[in-house]
Amino acid sequence: VREWVATNLAQGVYPPQILSWMWVEANKHMKPSSVPQAVITMADYQHKAASVADQEINTVACCVELMMSVEWL
Query: Do 16 and 52 contact (CB within 8 A), yes or no?
Result: no
Tell me the pLDDT tens digit for each residue of 27-68: 899 999 999 999 999 999 999 999 999 999 999 999 999 999
Query: Do 66 and 26 contact (CB within 8 A), yes or no?
Result: yes
Confidence band for 72, pLDDT divided at 50, 70 and 90:
very high
**Dist. CA 65–CA 58, nearest whole Å:** 11
